[in-house]
Amino acid sequence: MKIFVDGAVGTTGLEIGERLAGRPEIELLTLSEALRKDASARGDALNAADIVILCLPDDAAREAVALLEGSSTRIIDASTAHRIAPGWAYGFPELEPGCREAIGAADYVANPGCYPTGFLALVRPLVRAGLLPADALLSVNATSGYSGGGKSMIASFEDPADPAATDTAFRTYAMNLAHKHAPEMTVHAGLTHAPIFQPAVAKTYRGMIVEVPLHLHALPGTVTLADLRAALADHYAGSALVRVVDNAPPVMTIEQLAGTDRIDLFVYGDEKAGQARLVAALDNLGKGAAGAAVQNMNLMAGLPETAGLQL
Ligand X SMILES: CC(=O)N[C@@H](CCC(=O)OP(=O)(O)O)C(=O)O
Catalytic residue among 114, 276, 282, 289: 114
Residue 264 has phi, psi (to 5 degrees) of: -110, 140
Report how far residue 195's alpha carbon sits from residue 98's, in angstroms, rounded to the nearest whole number. 25
Residue 93 binding result from ligand NDP, ligand X, none, given CB thresholds of 5 to 8 Å by partner type: none
Which residue from 5, 65, 80, 257 is in contact with ligand X, where contact means CB under 6 A? 80
Report how far residue 266's alpha carbon sits from residue 255's, in angstroms, rounded to the nearest whole number. 15
CB of 41 to ligand NDP, least distance (A): 10
Give the nearer residue to ligand NDP in terms of CB position, either 128 or 180. Answer: 180
What are the residues binding ligand NDP (CB under 6 A)?
A: 6-7, 9-13, 36-37, 55-58, 60, 78-80, 113-114, 147-148, 150-151, 284-285, 288-289
Please, what is the Cα angle at 38 between 35 and 44, to 5 degrees?
Answer: 90
Which residue from 13, 118, 195, 199 is in contact with ligand X, where contact means CB under 6 A? 199
Which residue from 13, 17, 93, 113 is in contact with ligand X, where contact means CB under 6 A? 113
Q: How does DSSP assign 92-121, residue by residue?
A: -TTSSTTHHHHHHH-SEEEPPPHHHHHHHH
Report how far residue 227's alpha carbon sits from residue 156's, in angstroms, rounded to the nearest whole number. 44
Report how far residue 148's alpha carbon sits from residue 207's, in angstroms, rounded to the nearest whole number. 9
Report how far residue 52's alpha carbon sits from residue 77's, in angstroms, rounded to the nearest whole number. 8
Would you give the end-to-end CA distance of the chain in angstroms?
23
Give the nearer residue to ligand X in terms of CB position, either 210 or 219. Answer: 210
3 near ligand X, judged by CB under 6 A: no
Residue 56 binding result from ligand X, ligand NDP, none, given CB thresholds of 5 to 8 Å by partner type: ligand NDP
114 near ligand X, judged by CB under 6 A: yes
Report how far residue 199's alpha carbon sits from residue 76's, in angstroms, rounded to the nearest whole number. 25
Which residue from 91, 118, 149, 207 is in contact with ligand X, where contact means CB under 6 A? 149
Give the nearer residue to ligand X in terms of CB position, either 55 or 225. Answer: 55
By beta-carbon distance, which residue lies closest to ligand NDP? 10
Give the nearer residue to ligand NDP in terms of CB position, either 7 or 17. Answer: 7
Give the nearer residue to ligand NDP in terms of CB position, either 75 or 219. Answer: 75
Q: Report DSSP state, residue 138.
A: -
Nearest 10 degrees: Cα torsion 175, 179, 185, 190: 90
Of 169, 173, 179, 164, which is closest to residue 202 (Cα–Cα)? Answer: 169
114 is an active site residue: yes
Which residue from 26, 61, 67, 79 is in contact with ligand X, where contact means CB under 6 A? 79
Give the nearer residue to ligand NDP in terms of CB position, either 34 or 251. Answer: 34
> How many residues does this entry show for the chain?
311
Residue 224 burial class via C-beta count within 10 angstroms: exposed 0-12, middle 13-18, buried 19 and up: middle
Residue 9 binding result from ligand NDP, ligand X, none, given CB thresholds of 5 to 8 Å by partner type: ligand NDP
Site for ligand X in 177-196 (CB under 6 A): 180
Buried b / exposed e over 46-59, threshold 16 CB at 10 Å, is: beebbbbbbbbeee
Give me the active site residues, please: 114
List contacts with ligand X (CB under 6 A): 79-80, 113-114, 144, 148-149, 153, 180, 199, 201
